[in-house]
Amino acid sequence: MKEKILRIENLEAGYGELKVLKGINIEARKGDLVAIIGPNGSGKSTMIKSIFGLVKPTKGQILFKGKKITGKRPDEIVHYGITYVPQGRLVFSTMTVEENLEMGAFILKDKSIVKERMEEVYKFFPELKEKRNQRATFLSGGQQQMLSIGRALMLKPEMILLDEPSLGLAPMAMQDIFRKIKTINKQGTTVILVEQNAHLALAICNKAYVIETGRIALKGGKDIAKKQKVKDLYLGH
């Protein structure tokens, strides 16, 4: 059996007086592609931000490869081999594609390794190579999402956290991005995917959790899509 890479135990977190997560338990093994689905405001993004240190939990713990990372800062968490792709394609709009990718490799001191990683990203996303000297603000939505993912790949993470990667994308760009996410996972990277589009997320995952009002309502494999509750609430049946 594959190594347990992520364990979230009884996690509670929120914003000031607002408690969003109310005792979340989630786990992932090495090489898993875990889909986290649920309605808007259910706590999906808060959970993923808690893993990456953007929201400080008030209770519970987060373990990565057996090491406690609860409450650590994002700049510390990247050193564990975890990267994060935020919701809304947050690229540095005034910087070029190349400069954005360099920002993703900020902890690497060896410039030759940075260059090597960049070429790997360009091979994975050929469209970015064509636009390497173009400012990110002039890219299409799909290309900006590629850049955001490419930037996270610059550190060759063991685990990548994706927050709503389909948000605001045209259907064709959405399909392209999800194919790439599947490929990233097949290459050995553990993926935690928070996604509003349950159809797309459940089509590529091997494990799924449904969050409702800050709690895990359902969990299972991709066959969770067959459950009547999931069909009724998220799949439009």
CATH number for the domain that contains residue 132: 3.40.50.300
Residue with tokens 């070429």: 119
* Predicted local confidence at residue 62, as pLDDT: 97
Residue with tokens 């969003």: 20
Please tell me the total count of domains within the chain. Answer: 1
Question: Which DSSP symbol is given to 1?
Answer: -
* Predicted local confidence at residue 108, as pLDDT: 83
The sign one gets for the Cα dihedral 46, 2, 68, 180 is negative
Dist. CA 83–CA 99, nearest whole Å: 18
Helix (H, G, I), strand (E, B) or coil at 36: strand
In 3D space, the residue among 226, 169, 218, 237 whose CA is nearest the CA of residue 35 turns out to be 218
* Predicted local confidence at residue 168, as pLDDT: 83
* Predicted local confidence at residue 98, as pLDDT: 92
Question: Which DSSP symbol is given to 135?
Answer: B
Whether the CB-CB separation of 176 and 149 falls below 8 Å is answered with: no
* Predicted local confidence at residue 220, as pLDDT: 84
Adjacent-strand bridge partners of 220 = 208
Adjacent-strand bridge partners of 63 = 7, 68
pTM: 0.91
- As a residue count, the chain comes to 237
pLDDT per residue, tens digit, the chain (237 aa), is: 778 899 999 999 999 888 999 999 999 999 999 999 988 888 999 999 999 999 999 999 999 999 999 989 999 999 999 999 998 778 888 889 999 998 888 888 888 898 999 999 999 999 999 999 989 899 988 899 999 999 999 999 999 999 999 888 888 888 999 999 999 999 999 999 999 888 888 889 999 999 989 999 888 876 765 666 666 665 554
Structural domain of 169: 4-234
Dist. CA 22–CA 11, nearest whole Å: 7
Dist. CA 45–CA 186, nearest whole Å: 24
* Predicted local confidence at residue 234, as pLDDT: 58
* Predicted local confidence at residue 231, as pLDDT: 60
Whether the CB-CB separation of 197 and 225 falls below 8 Å is answered with: no
Whether the CB-CB separation of 235 and 199 falls below 8 Å is answered with: yes
Dist. CA 64–CA 4, nearest whole Å: 8
